[in-house]
Amino acid sequence: MATFCDECDRTFSTKSALQQHLRDAPAHAVTYDCDECDRTFSTKSALQQHLRDAPAHAVTYDCDECDRTFSTKSALQQHLRDAPAHAVTYDCDECDRTFSMESALQQHLRDAPAHAVTYDCDECDRTFSTKSALQQHLRDAPAHAVTYDCDECDRTFSMESALQQHLRDAPAHNKRRATKFQIHSSWGGDINFMHSYGLKHYNHEDFSEANAIKNALLRQMRGVAG
């Protein structure tokens, strides 16, 4: 069965003869053309080699910071790492130092006391690199540590529980140890009288004073009645 060439009027007895004709006839053979210039190649691999070898129109990787061009992406990345003028950098906001890695910048911030993250004491001019160190300072510095002061005397305690224990143990100023009123025999059981004058609670120091008030009021009431 004869086969015909679509590009010309020649006829071939076999398909292989037609394919050989197409390869040998440059006017209508299958070709691979370069889009950048007028060169034509018979194989795809030849075109690709041409693109790699022709710097004017080969696939390139351009540096956005300068006019250098690289044939591979890895070469461009190496250039960016090696060229300090336009490489990816990590800059310190506190000084003019620049680092190629973020970890190096963080180490710089920890090591440079002038602009590292610090924890300052509001009571004095001391500065600490960690929050725990500041808290320890506040506990150890009695001049400005958190304290619990006794309102009745000049004693100071580091814990609220210690202050409360002090108030319980010191009868002279433990908030006067308010105790629910207990009727004394000298009052004749007149609890309503005591309540009417606000004498609902007492301690031992106040009892004699309260008794004197009661007697004076009773005398006044008898005089009015008489």
Separation of CA 129 from chain center: 16
Q: In the prediction, which pLDDT does 29 show?
A: 63
Q: Based on the domain organization, do 189 and 162 belong to the same domain?
A: no
3-state secondary structure of 139: helix
* Higher-confidence position of 152 and 29: 152
Count of domains for the chain: 3
Percent helix, percent strand, percent coil in the chain, to nearest 5: 40, 10, 45
Residue 106: is its pLDDT beyond 80? yes
**Dist. CA 83–CA 64, nearest whole Å:** 12
Question: Does residue 184 share a domain with residue 164?
Answer: no
Q: What percent of the chain has pLDDT over 70?
A: 65
**Is residue 102 one of the residues assigned to a domain?**
no
In a domain, 68, yes or no: no
**pLDDT of amino acid 221:** 65
CATH number of the domain bearing residue 132? 3.30.160
**Better pLDDT: 208 or 1:** 1
pLDDT of residue 141: 77
> What's the whole-number average pLDDT of the chain?
73
Supply the DSSP symbol for 58. S
Shortest CA distance to 62 belongs to which of 90, 98, 86, 33? 86
Q: Which of 53, 69, 84 is the endpoint of a domain?
A: 53
Determine the pLDDT at residue 37.
80
Helices (H), 35-183: 44-53, 73-82, 102-111, 131-140, 160-169
What pLDDT band is residue 35 in, cutting at 50, 70 and 90?
A: confident
Q: In the prediction, which pLDDT does 210 show?
A: 59
* Same domain? 25 vs 43: yes
Which pLDDT does position 226 carry in this prediction?
A: 52
Tell me which residue range forms the domain holding 148: 119-169
pLDDT, tens digit, for every residue of 159-182?
888 888 888 888 766 544 443 333
